[in-house]
Amino acid sequence: MSRRQMWDERYAAKDLVWSAGPNELFAQEIDDLQPGKALDVACGEGRNGLWLAERGWSVTMLDFSAVAIDKARQIAEKRGVKVNALVEDVAVYELPEAEYDLVAVLYLHTQPDERSRWLANVIRSVRPGGTFLYVGHDPSNIEMGVGGPQDVQLLPGISELNQALDGFRIDAAEVRPRNVGSDPGHGSAATGIALDTFIRAVRQ
């Protein structure tokens, strides 16, 4: 089974894999930004992009799972918000250059060769003065945290991400703890602390 098929099946198995509301760290970190054009990469069911749209952002959402995007579109219609939701693989789909005021990548974990393609693609799409926001499981999470991929190759650390952000001002680059007990997607019995890489940077 391909990775795309695996995620299609996961999204089809229940009403919501993740929560209806946004990732808490994401919501906190973009609260001070003026609404503009946003890109939500690997958006899943759209919880972050839809939240942005409800706050006046013009949002494009990408995910390679057709099931996830169909659910995101249905949720958007129910909530009365407009988004541009596309079934696309960000490692292949060519994004417009210097287009977005905010580009958010949350929990997209791929092998290094694929990561090098999508990371360059999304970074290039941030306009001057725009913000790049990344949240993902940190490599240290395998030994010291809970949940997430157990293959370190899938988990870029702060150093790798910072090196890719040439021409950006790095405002934050740190490992953040996250309590998974109230974090949808881990299962109701999940407990403990996950360790996430967090990057916030502004294109100069």
Q: Which helix (H) or strand (E) holds 126?
A: strand 126-137
The pLDDT value recorded for residue 169 is 98
The pLDDT value recorded for residue 183 is 61
The pLDDT value recorded for residue 138 is 98
Res 182 pLDDT > 70: no
Q: What is the mean pLDDT of residues 43-52?
A: 96
In contact, 41 and 122? CB cutoff 8 Å: yes
C-alpha–C-alpha distance, residues 49 and 46, integer Å: 5
Sheet (strand 58-63) strand order: 84-87, 58-63, 37-41, 100-106, 126-137, 193-203, 168-179
Q: Which residues contact 155 (CB under 8 A, 6 or more apart)?
A: 109, 136, 137, 138, 139, 141, 142, 148, 149, 197
In terms of Cα–Cα distance, which of 119, 128, 121, 144 is closest to 199?
119
User: Residue ranges of the domains in the chain?
Assistant: 99-108+118-204
Burial string for 46-59 (b: 16+ CB within 10 Å, else e) reads bbbbbbbbebebeb
Collapsing DSSP to helix, strand or coil, 167 comes out as coil
Placement of tokens 């999940």 in the chain? 190
The total of other beta-carbon atoms located within 10 Å of residue 151's CB is: 10
The pLDDT value recorded for residue 95 is 98
- Rounded to two decimals, the pTM is 0.93
In terms of Cα–Cα distance, which of 158, 165, 195 is closest to 180?
195
The pLDDT value recorded for residue 12 is 83
Instruction: Assess if CATH 3.30.470.10 describes domain 99-108+118-204.
Output: no
Burial of 150: CB neighbours in 10 Å, binned 0-12, 13-18, 19+: exposed
The pLDDT value recorded for residue 186 is 47
Q: How far from chain centre, in Å, is Cα 26?
A: 9
The pLDDT value recorded for residue 52 is 98
Mean per-residue pLDDT over the chain, rounded: 93
Q: What is the mean pLDDT of residues 79-90?
A: 97
Res 185 pLDDT > 80: no
C-alpha–C-alpha distance, residues 149 and 60, integer Å: 27
The pLDDT value recorded for residue 19 is 65
